[in-house]
């Protein structure tokens, strides 16, 4: 059947083409289409019955007609050829080379949809990754095998933050990063893609990066394949070649929009804001591919970047993402406008795996309590700041004024840092104590009395 | 034999005459399983529990002649099953790290022999009813598995096996049933998951489920046999709270259903449960626990089934006379699975894409909770605790609002509290419990007669402080009277010294009922003593400087539940502390 060309299209409409009377086509099969000009396009069978086969065309159905479209059913799902040689290469969203070099030839060709990991086969991620960013390491730390997205918005420096994490990420006690990087960009501008490329080049990791690019002006439906192809490569690197893989994907919003586009064409019932009800499951199929497996050396740590439409964290894309990922790093427009870099809004940010990767045996014994105290004190300080905006700072009580100063210092000195500043977690914790020492010890009830005695800089208190 | 006509995602149209709704089907060369959900003439619609990629129209399809059912017998505890009761450890042994399609592994181990002890009073000629206990198997050190006559069997016992070791397939009894034929019984039997298991009658729930979590037990109690929901936006603490309940609650059996959530959360449970001791029996927690896992990346139809698999196993242990707790994380994913299937069937959506029957499905699921008199005359209960994941944290969405109508205890999690890392982020104003009167009886008899009054006082204090806080946020704390400022401080003591409870702090993680009451009572004492002084004219500024206030906030993590005498000794000093302030102040006014 692979070699038979069918010319039985019965309708074609925005990205979808219906083929009549092709017997025995398998659901999910890859399709190759040839149009009247002899150009080839790729597609996927998404629905099939005795009478008709519905095909999604990745490059779109523009200029396809019914009479002069020849379709071959390749009788296999989308597969990515894999070998050691993928390192340092650049592919398009469907996994074909776009760096002008020859295609990867390998007997190892894997279905990009993967198969669900057995929960009984997973190993729980516990190894602390130092990113060098205090807002992350101190309060929302990352562990090896975690999926931790960056929630951002137009004009915010998410790319710079992601690139800094890639540059600095390392396990405690290790010198340089031993990560290989899989980078997938979909729906982003070529400027954004180039920014990452250059940043990998500058940090000298380019030969340890695999890139999958589907830029803003490239076929929309191909975006549905891009993250899956990237994760298939990541799984190969992690579980076949024992690498620790850091996967950066941007922008998940573009992905979800592509999914919505196709859903509308298919006539799927919309749930919220026009997104199909299965957006959650679809995103989960992607995000859940991060992790660790028992008795395997490698790991996949996933940092998806997404822009929140109108900075709205309750929008379905960040919302469903937050329900699946193991926390989120939220960037704040306010902090950014005040010149704070990285503008991490620490309160809505969260790392769910932090509790199991910090403290006595991992970072330092006071870390859990210090983080909790920073959260509590900063939350209180923001309340005071709100109050000061109404009644004026002069009207604040003495104690409240200290909180106000704490808020400012915390944002400038703790959250804020240089783009090439790589803080060790100990520096981060010491800095936290410097700042907490601006507050009276009796206001610090989340740290223990022993920790207060050991780390609080009493002299700072009048 | 039938054939496949159409494949549309998880929905497959079959040419399969004479099937019935609910029948299990096996389709295609891979032998994927699914269930019939609709019929139209000779064609049937089936939803598949596994990914349908690669299926072709024309491939074979067959009806299996039975509905989705679970296998019930020794070997359930300590296990992790997928949404259709395949044991995931055995699946891993067979198909590796990833779940291959079409793998068939029986739910219970076939080879293992269990030491069966027949009930002494049974002998040939005994009349058996459905639900009677045939004998027992000590399944784990803490749980005795009672082997039940299947609910749909009754008749005359012809023969029962002597004490000895048997596999779940071997016959241990023969019964002559009503139509004269002979039924062979073994250590296990099957039961269809969508049919509630029968019982004699519903009983009133009377005893609180103690979870060791102060805001739950003391403020919004749940009874054994009750139904509760935990709604909250992502990151608010639904999963942690359910895990805390699974760890610490005083149920005899815990069923943890991970429905459409993270794989790592189940791994977490699998890794910590065996290491932790049941606080009530001292045995490893895993011995009383079983997991049902259909994580978010696993096929969506099996997600819908997983909830029923969980509840049916829960009912089975209830029927043995146990108090069972089932936590389901998250019921929203189950509802979304319903929605997805309804959408593929072209059913008319009513709200946010959900089908019209969402409310009734939720209600009949929660209806399976309860305390009952079992068929054999014992008592058992199923307590249901469902997490709800409202999109955007909006509690007015369909799943949350329907659930709220059904349950009795509502533990509402708040994003604001979670953002400030006040855990558990149970909102003390939004939450409610319809079980307070029954719980009050138990607390009065077993802990302290003052429980109900203390609880009400604390809740009033919290409500009042909310008002005061609003004023402060508008015009500053100086606008408050001294009494109001002390009220605000006292509310702070309750929030930080009682309500807030860290799951990660070894000492604080669990609080016995006694500790819960002692802490609450202590904070209320401080409030009252301070208020007396304030009313006498002592400056509130002076009171706010008392080191006692910071100390009291630390007691919860300094005194484990076993050291209540020491804590009580601390508390006994409270009057003295205030007395000294009173004296100091009296001297000054004299000067
Ligand atoms: N009771 C608690 N004690 C300490 N930390 C908690 C508690 N509840 C939640 N957390 C923190 O909040 C994070 C998110 O909680 P989780 O239960 O996963 O939220 P949800 O299931 O609502 O998305 C956890 O990883 C943990 O860091
Ligand atoms: Mg959760």
Query: Angle at Cα B215 formed by Cα B209 and Cα B221, nearest 5°?
Result: 35
Distance of CA B227 to the CA centre of its chain: 9
| Residue B554 tokens, joined | 């630390």
Per DSSP, what are the bridge partners of residue B264?
none
For residue A342, is the peptide bond before it cis, meaning its omega torsion is within 30 degrees of 0? yes
pLDDT at A461: 45
Question: Sign (positive/negative) of CA torsion A288, A291, A295, A298?
Answer: positive
Packing angle, helices B263-272 and B238-248, rounded to 10: 20
Distance (Å, rounded) from C-alpha B481 to C-alpha B540?
A: 9
In whole angstroms, give the CA distance from residue B293 to residue A117.
12
**DSSP-based three-state secondary structure for B133:** strand
- From CA B22, how far away is CA B16, in angstroms rounded? 13
Cα-to-centroid distance, A217 and ligand 1 (Å): 41
CB half-sphere exposure, B515, CA atoms < 13 A: 28
Q: What's the pLDDT tens digit per position in A100-145? A: 999 999 999 999 998 899 999 999 999 999 999 999 999 999 999 9
Tell me whether strands B227-231 and B379-388 are parallel, antiparallel or unpaired.
parallel
**Between A239, A316, A355, which is nearest B391 by CB?**
A316
Residue A23, SS3 per DSSP: coil
Please state the atom number of ligand 1 nearest to the C-alpha of residue B261: 21
Residue A100 gets which letter from DSSP? S
Provide the 10 A C-beta neighbour count for residue B374: 25
| Distance set, CA A247 to CA A162, A209, A237 (Å) | 10, 10, 11
The 3 state secondary structure assigned to B175-223 is EEECCCCEEEEECCEEEECCCCCCCCEEECCCCECCCCCHHHHHHCCCE
Average pLDDT over residues B6-28: 93
Q: How many beta-carbon contacts under 8 Å exist across A and B?
A: 216
Q: Is B505:B555 a contact under the CB 8 Å cutoff?
A: no
Distance from CA of A445 to the nearest CA of B (A): 7
Least confident of A133-142, A438-447, A453-462: A453-462
The alpha carbon of A150 is separated from its chain's Cα centroid by a whole number of angstroms, namely 6
Residue B524 belongs to what H/E stretch?
helix B513-536
pLDDT at position A460:
47
Ligand 1 center from residue B29 Cα (angstroms): 44
Residue B521 token pair: 């009572």
Q: How far is the CA of A322 from the centre of ligand 2 (A)?
A: 10
Contact between residue B349 and residue B367 where contact means Cβ atoms under 8 Å apart: no
- Per-residue pLDDT band for B589 (boundaries 50, 70, 90) equals low
User: What stretches of B81-149 show up as alpha helix (H) in DSSP?
Assistant: 88-95
Q: Is the pLDDT of residue A52 over 60?
A: yes
Give the pLDDT of residue A340: 97
Average pLDDT over residues B397-408: 96
Q: Which ligand is nearest to the CA of A326?
A: 1
A445: nearest Cα among B554, B96, B59, B380? B554
CB atoms within 10 A of CB A96: 13
Q: Does B29 touch chain A (CB under 8 A)?
A: no
Cβ B276 vs Cβ B249: under 8 Å: no
- Scanning the structure block, which residue is given the tokens 């002899």? A38
In A, which residues are within 8 Å of B10 by CB distance? Answer: none
User: Is the N-terminal amide bond of B55 cis, ω within 30° of 0?
Assistant: no
Q: How far apart are CA B238 and CA B229, in angstroms?
A: 10
The answer to whether A441 touches A456, Cβ cutoff 8 Å, is: yes
Mean pLDDT throughout B267-288?
86
**A259 pLDDT more than 90:** yes
What would the two tokens of residue A192 be? Answer: 């954004």
- Name the residue with the closest Cα to ligand 1, atom 14: B235
Tens of pLDDT, residues B436-490:
999 999 999 999 999 999 999 999 999 999 999 999 888 888 889 999 999 999 9
| Average pLDDT of the segment spanning B149-166 | 95
In the structure encoding, which two tokens stand for residue B274, read together? Answer: 């065996």
Q: pLDDT band for B501, please (50, 70, 90 cuts).
A: very high
B472 touches chain A (CB under 8 A): yes
Considering Cα of A430, then A431, then A433, then A434, what sign does the dihedral take? positive
> Which 8-state DSSP code applies to residue B413?
B
Selected residue with higher pLDDT from B285 and B513: B513
Residues in contact with ligand 1 by the CB-under-6-Å rule are: A 350, 352, 355; B 232, 234-240, 423-424, 502-504
The residues near B275 (Cβ < 8 Å, ≥ 6 apart) are: B284
Q: What is the ipTM of this complex?
A: 0.92
Q: Which ligand minimizes its atom distance to the CA of B501?
A: 1
**DSSP bridge pairs for A304:** A249
Cα B425 to averaged position of ligand 1 atoms, centre (Å): 9
Q: Which of A38-47, B193-202, B372-381 has the lowest mean pLDDT?
A: A38-47
Token digits of residue B202: 């519903």
What is the reported pLDDT for A176? 58
Taking CA atoms, B223 is separated from B227, B231, B365, B439, B517, in Å, by 8, 19, 18, 7, 18
pLDDT > 90: percent of chain B: 84
* Domains parsed from chain A with CATH numbers: 5-73 (2.40.30.20), 79-356 (3.40.50.12240), 367-455 (no CATH)
Which DSSP symbol is given to A354?
Answer: G
Per-residue pLDDT band at A248 (split at 50, 70, 90): very high
Which residues share a beta bridge with A272?
A: A275
pLDDT value for B70: 97
Give the strand pairing for B80-81 and B289-294. parallel
Closest CA–CA distance from residue A294 to any residue of chain B (Å): 9
User: In this structure, what is the dihedral angle of CA atoms B519, B525, B528, B534, given to the nearest 10 degrees?
Assistant: -100
Where do the DSSP E strands lie in B16-151? 23-27, 32-40, 43-48, 60-67, 69-72, 80-81, 114-118, 127-128, 133-138, 144-148
Q: Do A323 and B96 touch (CB under 8 A)?
A: no
Whole-number Å distance between alpha carbons of A60 and A265? 12
pLDDT in tens, B208-261: 999 999 999 999 999 999 999 999 999 999 999 999 999 999 999 999 999 999
- Pairing state of beta strands A299-307 and A244-250? parallel
CA distance A122 to chain B (A): 6
pLDDT of residue B385: 98
What DSSP letter does each residue of A49-74 carry, written as one string?
Answer: ESSEEEEEETT--TT--STT-EEEE-
In whole angstroms, how far apart are CA A322 and each of A92, A148, A251, A284, B225?
A: 28, 9, 15, 11, 32
Residue of B30, B57, B59 best to disrupt the A interface, most CBs of A under 10 A: B57
Q: Which residues, in sequence order, are CB contacts of B301 under 8 Å at separation 6+? A: B10, B34, B35, B47, B48, B49, B337, B341
- Under DSSP, is residue B275 helix (H, G, I), strand (E, B) or coil? coil
For the record, the structure tokens of A315 come out as: 């929008």
Tokens 């992502």, located at residue: B234
Task: Compute CA distances A28 → A53, A161, A262, B234, B257, whole Å.
Answer: 11, 37, 15, 33, 30
Place of tokens 């910071």: B550
Minimal-distance CA residue of chain A relative to B292: A119
Residues 6+ apart with CB under 8 A from B342: A269, B349, B354, B355
What is the distance between the alpha carbons of residues A123 and B267, in angstroms, rounded to a whole number?
7
What rounded mean pLDDT belongs to chain A? 92
* pLDDT in the model for residue A206: 87
Bond into B370 cis (ω within 30): no
Decide if B542 touches A, using CB distance below 8 A: no
Rounded mean pLDDT, A278-289:
94
- Which domains can be identified in chain B, with CATH numbers? 1-67 (2.40.30.20), 114-187 (2.40.50.100), 201-435 (3.40.50.300), 451-590 (1.10.1140.10)
Location of structure tokens 């060098």: A132
d(CA B226, CA A192): 54
Other CB atoms within 10 A of residue B400 CB: 23
Burial class, A70, CB count within 10 angstroms (exposed 0-12 / middle 13-18 / buried 19+): middle
pLDDT score, position A60: 83
Question: In percent, how much of chain A has pLDDT > 70?
Answer: 98
Token pair listed for A35: 């149009």
- Suggest the residue from A54, A119, A358 to mutate for an interface test with chain B (most B CBs closer than 10 A): A119
Q: Which of B263, B549, B550 sits opposite A291 (nearest CB)?
A: B263
Chain A nearest-CA residue for B335: A277
């Amino acid at each position: 059947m692979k070699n038979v060309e069918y010319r039985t299209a019965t309708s074609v409409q925005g990205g979808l083409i219906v083929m009549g009377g092709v017997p025995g086509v398998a659901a999910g099969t890859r399709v190759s289409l040839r149009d009247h000009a002899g150009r080839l396009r790729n597609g996927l069978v998404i629905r099939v019955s005795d009478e008709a086969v519905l095909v999604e065309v990745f490059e779109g159905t523009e200029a396809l007609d019914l009479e002069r479209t020849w379709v071959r059913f390749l009788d296999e799902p989308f597969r990515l050829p894999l070998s050691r040689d993928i390192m340092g290469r650049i592919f398009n969203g469907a996994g074909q080379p776009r760096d002008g070099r020859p295609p990867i030839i390998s007997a190892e060709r894997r279905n990009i949809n993967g198969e669900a990991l057995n929960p009984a086969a997973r190993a729980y991620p516990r190894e602390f990754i130092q990113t060098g960013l205090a807002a992350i390491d101190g309060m929302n730390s990352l562990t090896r095998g975690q999926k931790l997205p960056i929630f951002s918005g137009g004009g915010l420096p998410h790319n710079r933050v992601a690139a800094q994490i890639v540059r600095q990420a390392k396990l405690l006690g290790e010198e340089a990063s031993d990560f290989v990087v899989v980078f997938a960009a979909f729906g982003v501008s070529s400027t954004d893609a180039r920014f990452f490329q250059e940043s990998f080049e500058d940090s000298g990791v380019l030969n340890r990066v695999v890139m999958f690019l589907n830029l803003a002006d490239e076929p929309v439906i191909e975006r549905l394949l891009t993250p899956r192809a990237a994760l298939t490569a990541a799984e190969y690197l992690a579980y076949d070649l024992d690498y620790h893989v850091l996967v950066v994907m941007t922008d998940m919003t573009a992905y979800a929009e592509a999914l919505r586009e196709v859903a509308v064409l298919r006539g799927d019932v919309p749930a919220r804001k026009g997104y199909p009800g299965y957006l959650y499951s679809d995103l989960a199929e992607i995000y859940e591919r991060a992790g660790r497996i028992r008795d395997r050396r490698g790991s996949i740590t996933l940092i998806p970047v997404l822009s929140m439409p109108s900075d709205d964290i309750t929008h379905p894309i960040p919302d469903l993402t937050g329900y699946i990922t193991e926390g989120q790093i939220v960037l704040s427009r306010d902090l950014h406008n005040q010149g704070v870099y990285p503008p991490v809004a620490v309160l809505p940010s969260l790392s769910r795996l932090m509790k199991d990767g910090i403290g006595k045996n991992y970072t330092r014994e006071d870390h859990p309590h210090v983080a909790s105290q920073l959260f509590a004190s900063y939350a209180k300080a923001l309340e005071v700041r709100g109050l000061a905006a109404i009644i004026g700072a002069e009207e604040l009580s003495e104690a409240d004024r200290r909180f106000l100063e704490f808020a400012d210092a915390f944002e400038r000195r703790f959250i804020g840092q240089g783009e090439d500043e790589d803080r060790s977690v100990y520096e981060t914790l010491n800095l936290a104590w410097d700042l907490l020492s601006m507050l009276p010890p009796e206001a610090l009830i989340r740290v223990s009395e022993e920790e207060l005695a050991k780390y609080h800089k009493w002299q700072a208190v009048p | 034999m039938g054939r496949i006509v159409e494949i549309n995602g998880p929905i497959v149209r079959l040419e399969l005459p004479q099937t019935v709704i609910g029948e299990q089907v096996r389709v295609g060369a891979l032998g994927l399983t699914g269930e019939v959900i609709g019929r139209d003439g000779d064609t049937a619609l089936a939803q598949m529990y596994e990914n349908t990629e690669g299926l072709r129209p024309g491939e074979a399809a067959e009806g299996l002649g039975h509905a989705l059912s679970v296998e019930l017998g020794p070997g359930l505890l300590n296990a992790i099953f997928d949404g259709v009761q395949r044991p995931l450890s055995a699946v891993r042994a067979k198909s590796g790290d990833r779940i291959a399609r079409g793998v068939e592994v029986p739910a219970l181990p076939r080879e293992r022999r269990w030491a069966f002890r027949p009930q002494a009073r049974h002998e040939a000629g005994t009349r058996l009813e459905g639900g009677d206990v045939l004998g027992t198997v000590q399944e784990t050190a803490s749980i005795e598995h009672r082997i039940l006559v299947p609910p749909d069997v009754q008749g005359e016992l012809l023969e029962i096996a002597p004490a000895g070791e048997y596999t779940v397939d071997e016959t241990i009894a023969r019964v002559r049933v009503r139509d004269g034929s002979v039924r062979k019984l073994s250590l296990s039997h099957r039961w269809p998951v969508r049919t509630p298991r029968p019982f004699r009658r519903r009983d009133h729930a009377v005893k609180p489920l103690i979870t060791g979590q102060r805001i739950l037990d003391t403020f919004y109690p749940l009874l054994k046999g009750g139904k509760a929901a935990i709604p909250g936006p992502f990151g608010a603490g639904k999963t942690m709270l359910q895990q805390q309940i699974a760890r610490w609650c005083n149920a005899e059996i815990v069923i943890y259903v991970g429905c459409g959530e993270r794989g790592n959360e189940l791994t977490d449970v699998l890794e910590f449960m065996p290491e932790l001791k049941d606080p009530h029996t001292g045995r490893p927690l895993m011995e009383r626990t079983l997991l049902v896992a259909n994580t978010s990346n696993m096929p969506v139809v099996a997600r819908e089934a997983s909830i029923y698999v969980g509840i049916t196993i829960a009912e089975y242990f209830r029927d043995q006379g146990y108090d069972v707790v089932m936590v389901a994380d998250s019921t929203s994913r189950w509802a979304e699975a319903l929605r997805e299937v309804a959408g593929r069937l072209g059913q008319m959506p009513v709200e946010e894409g959900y089908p019209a029957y969402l409310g009734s499905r939720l209600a009949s699921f929660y209806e399976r909770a309860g305390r009952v008199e079992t068929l054999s005359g014992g008592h058992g209960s199923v307590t249901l605790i469902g997490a709800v994941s409202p999109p955007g944290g909006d509690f007015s969405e369909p799943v949350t609002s329907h659930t709220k109508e059904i349950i009795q205890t509502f533990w509402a999690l708040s994003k604001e509290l979670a953002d400030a890392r006040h855990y558990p982020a149970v909102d003390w104003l939004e939450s409610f419990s319809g079980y307070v009167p029954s719980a009050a009886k138990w607390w009065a008899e077993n802990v302290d007669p003052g429980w109900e009054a203390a609880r009400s006082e604390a809740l009033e204090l919290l409500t009042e402080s909310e008002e005061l806080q609003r004023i402060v946020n508008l015009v500053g704390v100086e606008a408050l009277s001294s009494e109001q400022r002390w009220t605000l401080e006292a509310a702070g003591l309750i929030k930080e010294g009682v309500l807030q409870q860290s799951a990660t702090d070894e000492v604080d993680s669990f609080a016995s009922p006694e500790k819960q009451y002692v802490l609450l009572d202590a904070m209320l004492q401080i409030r009252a003593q301070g208020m007396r002084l304030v009313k006498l004219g002592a400056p509130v500024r002076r009171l706010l400087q008392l080191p006692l206030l910071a100390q009291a906030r630390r007691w919860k993590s300094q005194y484990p539940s076993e050291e209540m005498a020491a804590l009580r000794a601390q508390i006994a000093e409270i009057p003295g502390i205030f007395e000294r302030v009173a004296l100091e102040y009296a001297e000054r006014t004299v000067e």
